[in-house]
Amino acid sequence: MVHRVKSGFGRGAAMAALSLPGIAMAQAASQPTSILPPAPAAQQAPAPSPSIVPQPTSSPSPAPPVTPPPVPSETAPLQIDEPVMAWTTADAAALVAVIENIAGEGLIPADYQPEKLRAAILAGPGAGLDEQASRSFAWLAEDMRDGRTRMQSRLQWFLVDKDVDTHTVTKLMTAALASHDIEGTIMGLAPTHPDYAALKELYATTPKANKAARSLIQANLDRWRWLPREMGKYYLLTNLPEFQLRLTVDNTIIRSYRTVVGKPGKTATPNLAETVENVVFNPTWTVPQSIVVGEGLGARLWASPSSAARQGYKVTKNKDGTFLVVQQPGDGNSLGRMKIDMPNPHAIYLHDTPSKSLFNTPVRAYSHGCVRTERAVELGMTMAILGAGVTPEQAVQYNLSGKYTKVPMTKTFPVYLTYFTMATGIDGKMGKFADIYGRDVPVLASFAKPREAWNGQRITSEKVIKLDNPI
């Protein structure tokens, strides 16, 4: 159910945040540091100590040159995991049955060589059966776990699904053969989000003659497999073509917010899975050099201090003659009154905006990549309450102070920037959304071709585009 409230910057927004079902209970209950499913020990990191970090009102010192972030190891190709194990004819026959019914998941049975598997079963136990059954199982497990679409067909897909780390083919096959529950092991990899089940139901009821509709449903079923099977208890999810952001608890939408996303082309918003590190009340905005220099803003403001003050800018002239221009907190700030900080190589984040009228337009692809969020103050207060243990009174104080205040998260709160062109909307109805970035085309093409072997690639090899002015 979607609860709608009025926008507000002060106590109204705080009360709206408080009205969320389960928040009071969540605050009262003892919660673990992380609200995601437990990660492997090597991935665990200590939670930051809760603190509020104010920023001085004076202009910051010039930032040092930006060094590109190191490429995380999870972006490197993985070693292909396709073991060969001993299979009985009974287990292999159970695998054939799973393959025959896998079309209900939007996958293609022929991809997993059922005819070769049947022939191996007729030949009896031995190396031939072991090799073919292991191969068919591995390919099917890979596609159920990670999706059939390979990375070269996932445009701007920088979202890393870590299911491959915890559900290796070796572990899955070992468990399936030990329990003799081939079907349960394979189907246990299916996404748990309710939208996946809704798409499956739609796929089952769509006539086979309607090939275009079925292909689109297939593509979007696969997109759910690209995401983590378990997305966490609390998370934010935005479907870029829908122009909507969801605050979600236990896979249920608690509240939704309209969004403005990147314009098609170079400024299109990429697909990401990041973690909120801070909620920033009354943010400042460091004006990019493309505007400071390219549009002459720095020189004009330096020449007229009164104009700079009136417009809410602080200007610093560096020793080399360049200018640093920082827009101070206020209603006119380009980031509005709230920024949700989720560090990533693309410099993409969620934020408020003074251009509220854009939220009333039907197609909201206007930004340079960042996600402008309706009622961002309300969302930020809710995030501070859920993710940092801030009281509603504190949230109101931080907001109304007009001062830059950074609230570090003390619980893990993921953000998913997704791309579904057939999905359940915030109204609870299944619908089709315009392919604003043209990302359906390569996915549909990949389903029209024979299955390609997975090469271990985890994210797209496309270049990271870090714009000078991503807002």
In tens, the pLDDT along 64-91 reads 444 444 444 556 667 778 899 999 999 9
Segments forming the whole domain that contains residue 323: 288-327
pLDDT at 57: 41
Angle 39-382-30 from CA coordinates, rounded to 5°: 50
Residue 323, in any domain of the structure: yes
CA distance 396 to 394: 5
**4-29: per-residue pLDDT in tens?**
333 344 556 655 665 654 454 444 43
Would residue 357 count as lying in a domain?
A: no
On whether the CB atoms of residues 207 and 385 are closer than 8 A, the answer is: no
Is residue 313 domain-resident? Answer: yes
DSSP letter at 360? G
Distance CA 297, CA 31 (A): 48
The rounded distance, in Å, linking the Cα atoms of 316 and 431 is 51
Any domain includes 307: yes
Tokens read off for 151:
């990375």
Q: Let me know if residue 148 belongs to a domain.
A: no
pLDDT at position 311 over 70: yes
Q: Per mean pLDDT, which range of 7-21, 242-256, 334-348, 375-389 is the poorest? A: 7-21
Under a CB-based contact definition with an 8 Å cutoff, are residues 312 and 319 in contact? no
pLDDT at 44: 36
> Band of the pLDDT at 358, cuts 50, 70, 90?
very high
Tell me the pLDDT tens digit for each residue of 433-454: 999 999 999 999 999 999 999 9
Q: Tens of pLDDT along 267-289?
A: 999 999 999 999 999 999 999 88
Is 440 part of a structural domain of the chain? no
CA dihedral of 396, 400, 406, 410, whole degrees rounded to 10: 0
In a domain, 25, yes or no: no
Q: Is the pLDDT of residue 170 over 90?
A: yes
Q: What is the mean pLDDT of the segment spanning 401-415?
A: 95
Does the pLDDT value for residue 204 go beyond 90? yes
Q: Computed from CA positions of residues 293, 296, 301, 303, in that sequence, does the dihedral angle turn out positive or negative? A: positive
pTM: 0.84
pLDDT digits (tens, 9 = 90+) for 31-52: 333 433 343 333 333 333 334 4
If one counts the domains in the chain, the total is: 1
Predicted confidence at residue 73, as pLDDT, reads 52
* Percent of the residues in the chain that have a pLDDT greater than 70, as a whole number: 84
User: With bands split at pLDDT 50, 70 and 90, how would you rate the model's confidence at 467?
Assistant: confident
316 is a domain residue:
yes
Q: What pLDDT is stored for residue 80 in this prediction? A: 78
